[in-house]
Amino acid sequence: MKNLVILTYCFPYLGGEQFIESEERFWAETGFDRVYIIPEIKTEEIRHYPEQVQLIQRPPIPSSAKQYMLFFVFFYALFWRELAYLIKNKKFNRENLTNMVKAVIYTTLRIKQLKKTFKQIDGELFVYTYWNDIDFYASCELKQQGIVHQVISRTHGFDCYEERRPQCYMPLKRQYHAHANQIFVLSESARQYFHERYRYSIDKLAISRLGVQIPEQQKSYQRDDNVIRVLSISSCIFGKRIDRIVDALHRYSLKHQKNIAWTHVGSGVLLDELKARSKKYMLENPYFKADFLGLLPNAEVKQHMAEHDYDLFINSSLSEGVPVSIMEAMSFGIPAIAPAVGGIPDLVKTNETGFLLSASPNIDDFVSAIDVVYNAPNYEQYRSNSYDLVYQQYNCVHNYRGFIKQLNEIADE
pLDDT digits (tens, 9 = 90+) for 242-288: 999 999 999 999 999 999 999 999 999 999 999 999 999 999 999 99
Per-residue confidence (pLDDT) for residue 321, from 0 to 100: 81
Per-residue confidence (pLDDT) for residue 312, from 0 to 100: 99
Class of domain 2-211+396-412: alpha beta
Which residue ranges does the chain devote to CATH 3.40.50.2000?
2-211+396-412, 227-393
CA angle 97, 103, 109 (to 5 degrees): 135
Tell me if 147 sits within 8 A of 25, measured CB to CB: no
Burial class (CB in 10 A: 0-12, 13-18, 19+), 158: middle
As a whole number of Å, the end-to-end CA separation of the chain is: 14
Beta bridge partners of 13: 46
Per-residue confidence (pLDDT) for residue 13, from 0 to 100: 95
Largest Cα separation within the chain, whole Å, is 68
Tell me if 340 sits within 8 A of 358, measured CB to CB: yes
Positions of the chain with pLDDT under 70? none
Tell me if 320 sits within 8 A of 238, measured CB to CB: no
Per-residue confidence (pLDDT) for residue 73, from 0 to 100: 86
CATH level 2 (architecture), domain 227-393: 3-Layer(aba) Sandwich (3.40)
Per-residue confidence (pLDDT) for residue 64, from 0 to 100: 81
Full DSSP string of 28-90: GGSSSSEEEEEES---S-B----TTEEE-PPPPPPTTHHHHHHTTGGG-HHHHHHHHHHHHTT
